[in-house]
């Protein structure tokens, strides 16, 4: 009888521990599900930003032709400079990922669930690596050459009066009383457009990685909702 009582107590304790771990695993899934919803919102915002950038940069050939024919025809450069001067990067919501890693939570998840979470994290790291290497290199090249395009002689006096000419490029026109604020160095201009062409291709590649992340997040939202009835 004593043995039976101890054994039953062991079974009860095991069942309780199993239930606690099962409930904790579902809490992790629910938390990750909320993170995915947050990520999807951020990705949609960045995709809109990238699409606007790609649309503007796709017109660079006609801009180059205009400048080649008439050096003062620099109005089209406004959009090109504005959409190539910076980038907005995506950072995954890692609240649950950090908890799963630091607290050993992955052992509580079903294998297919853990694999799905890790697959999403791996896809984000691919995006992150691309952004930190290939994209950042293309961004730096364009930005550095852009700085060299400005004609110090023509822009110096204006900068003394209005520093926002460079910092607020969105509203800037690139002609000052009949003088372009850009250098007439054809080699430098050609170099910039070549780098801009690479930047456009790299931006498209980064957008495709974001689209893959969105597709993965959307699939996981459906998968976890159907499996755990989260809504």
Q: Backbone dihedral region of 178: left (phi > 0), alpha (psi from -120 to 50 degrees) or beta?
A: left
The β-bridge partners of 182 are 150
Where residue 21 falls among pLDDT bands split at 50, 70, 90? low
pLDDT value of residue 6: 47
Assign 3-state DSSP to the chain and report helix, strand, coil percentages, each to 5.
Answer: 80, 5, 20
Q: Can you tell me the mean pLDDT for 119-144?
A: 96
Among 7-16, 160-169, 184-193, 199-208, name the most confident range.
Answer: 199-208
pLDDT value of residue 133: 97
The β-bridge partners of 179 are 176
pLDDT value of residue 174: 45
pLDDT at residue 47 greater than cutoff 90: yes
Angle, alpha carbons 14-27-214 (nearest 5°): 140
Residues 158-171: pLDDT tens digits?
555 554 544 444 44
pLDDT at residue 173 greater than cutoff 60: no
pTM over 0.85: no
């Amino acid at each position: 009888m004593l043995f039976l009582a101890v054994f039953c107590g062991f079974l009860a304790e095991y069942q309780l521990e199993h239930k606690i771990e099962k409930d904790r695993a579902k809490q992790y899934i629910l938390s990750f599900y909320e993170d995915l919803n947050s990520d999807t919102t951020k990705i949609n915002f960045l995709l809109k930003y990238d699409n606007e950038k790609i649309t503007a940069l796709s017109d660079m050939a006609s801009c180059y032709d205009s400048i080649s024919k008439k050096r003062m025809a620099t109005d089209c450069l406004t959009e090109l400079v504005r959409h190539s001067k910076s980038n907005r990067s995506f950072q995954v919501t890692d609240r649950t990922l950090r908890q799963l890693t630091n607290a050993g939570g992955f052992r509580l998840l079903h294998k297919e669930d853990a694999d799905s979470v890790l697959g999403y994290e791996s896809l984000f790291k691919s995006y992150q690596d691309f952004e930190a290497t290939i994209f950042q290199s293309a961004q730096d090249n364009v930005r550095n050459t852009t700085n060299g395009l400005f004609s110090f002689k023509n822009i110096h006096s204006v900068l003394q009066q209005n520093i926002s000419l460079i910092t607020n490029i969105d509203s800037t026109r690139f002609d000052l009383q009949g003088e372009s604020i850009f250098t007439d160095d054809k080699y430098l201009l050609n170099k910039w457009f070549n780098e801009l062409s690479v930047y456009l291709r790299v931006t498209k590649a980064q957008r495709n990685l974001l689209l893959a992340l969105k597709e993965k997040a959307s699939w996981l939202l459906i998968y976890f909702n159907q499996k755990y009835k989260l809504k």
